[in-house]
Amino acid sequence: MSGSLPSSLVDDDLIPFDEFVAKLKTSPRTGRRIIASGKIGVVRIGAAVRIPAAELARFLSSNYTPPREERETAPQSIADILDNVVPRKRGERK
């Protein structure tokens, strides 16, 4: 499938596939899966695949999960944590 390249990407740096997987610190297989899934736009030049820098930035920002906020309370005991996962039956001792 081919489409027209957005004008914002025309002057963008094109990152070779090897650099793309190195930046993600992932295997080439995972890089190919990301591309095949359509989660990131690529430029194909013959058999070579290039990733526009803006597409890499967009992909990373869309997959970014911010750190959790600091907990305001002290850590719970293991029993309290398990109660949240598997509530106790009535009459069971704590």
Q: What is the dihedral of CA 5, 10, 14, 20, to 10 degrees?
A: -50
Angle between helices 28-37 and 17-24 (to 10 degrees): 100
Q: Which of 1-10, 23-32, 81-90 has the lowest mean pLDDT?
A: 1-10
For the stretch 40-71, pLDDT in tens is: 999 999 999 999 999 999 999 998 888 877 55
Instruction: Measure Cα distances from 17 to 4, 13, 46, 53 in Å.
Output: 20, 13, 13, 12
Q: 93: which residues sit within 8 A by CB, 6+ positions away?
A: none
For the stretch 20-35, pLDDT in tens is: 999 999 999 999 999 9
**Domain locations in the chain as residue ranges:** 9-62
The class that CATH gives domain 9-62 is mainly alpha
Structure token pair of residue 21: 């997987």
Higher pLDDT, 29 or 82: 29
